[in-house]
Amino acid sequence: MLKNRQIGAIPLVRNLRQYQARYQADMHRLAGLVQTVSPGLFLREWLARPGSVGAVWPSSRQLARQMAAQVPLSGDGLVVELGAGTGAVTQALLDRGIPGRRLWIVERSPAFVQHLRYRFPALTVVGGDAADLESLLPANKKVDAVVSSLPLRSLPPDVVGAVVEQWRQCLAMDGLLVQFTYALWGRDMDLFEGFAEDPSRYAWLNMPPARVRIFRRMAFAGSGS
């Protein structure tokens, strides 16, 4: 009788093990989902470093797509994304068709770097400051485009100047610079000396509405060019 009960318990034990395995797998997927739900992380980083993050909420899909749409699919140089945050623009660049091998993601926040590496394990994500961009890029590799979500208006002027100078140094001739801003009008071409500006695009559904500025590096930009 005892033997029969033990035999009858075997399917129950198997079912419990299968249930436990499914439960663990579901918890793993849930953990991954939580790590890619970005608003909470974004808000936490903004509260910790408001001047560096510059926004309390990730870029909307409309803004991310507007920025990505400016980047040509042709070319074999790097597409460098600065201030990637939780990866809204990164995903838009991939959706547009930019190959992952061309993307070079630079983010200053360690928390965002960890998040980006988890979300995009096949991409190169580098932790560092955009003011030191040249030292963060592979040697002798052409940069076709820089896509920036840096909060230039909230950074100190000397930092902004250093960042823009790095763009001049790193971008190829006629290379593309895409920068979004919450300032919907105005021109500050003194800051962007050495660049020609194309007509802006707008993401009216973003919160708040945003302007996408597009620049091209002119042949005589920077010293020695």
| Mean pLDDT score, 129-141 | 94
Structural tokens at position 194? 């050495």
The Cα-based distances of 67 to 64, 91, 183 in angstroms read: 5, 11, 16
| Interval 53-80: pLDDT, tens | 445 456 788 999 999 999 999 999 999 9
Which pTM was predicted?
Answer: 0.74
Cα–Cα distances in Å, from 138 out to 81, 90, 144, 166, 189?
14, 19, 14, 14, 29
What residues contact 75, with CB distance under 8 A and at least 6 apart?
102, 144
Express as a percent the part of the chain with pLDDT over 90: 54
pLDDT band at 124 (very low <50, low <70, confident <90, very high): very high
Structure tokens at 208: 């708040």
82-98 per-position pLDDT tens digit: 999 889 999 999 999 99
**Distance (Å) of CA 213 to CA 115, 188, 200:** 27, 11, 5
According to the model, what pLDDT value does residue 146 have?
Answer: 98
pLDDT value for 15:
60
Widest Cα–Cα separation across the chain: 93
Residue at token pair 């973003």 = 206
pLDDT of residue 40: 54
Tokens of 200: 């802006």
Question: Span 164-191, mean pLDDT?
Answer: 90
Element holding 35 (H helix, E strand): helix 2-36
Average pLDDT (175-193) is 88
pLDDT > 70: what percent of the chain?
72
User: Per residue in 14-44, pLDDT tens?
Assistant: 665 665 666 565 544 444 444 444 555 545 5
* 204 burial level (CB within 10 Å; 0-12, 13-18, 19+): exposed
Geometric angle at alpha carbon 110, from 131 and 164, rounded to 5°: 15
Average pLDDT, the chain: 81
Q: How confident is the model at residue 4 (pLDDT cuts 50, 70, 90)?
A: low
Whether the pLDDT of residue 153 is over 80: the answer is yes
The whole-number pLDDT of residue 225 equals 44
The Cα 122–Cα 117 span in angstroms is: 8
Strand-pair partners of 197: 215
Q: How crowded is residue 149: how many other Cβ atoms within 10 Å of its Cβ?
A: 27
Residues in contact with 19: Cβ distance below 8 Å, sequence separation at least 6, in sequence order: none
What per-residue confidence (pLDDT) applies to 187? 77
Mean pLDDT, to the nearest integer, of 189-211? 90
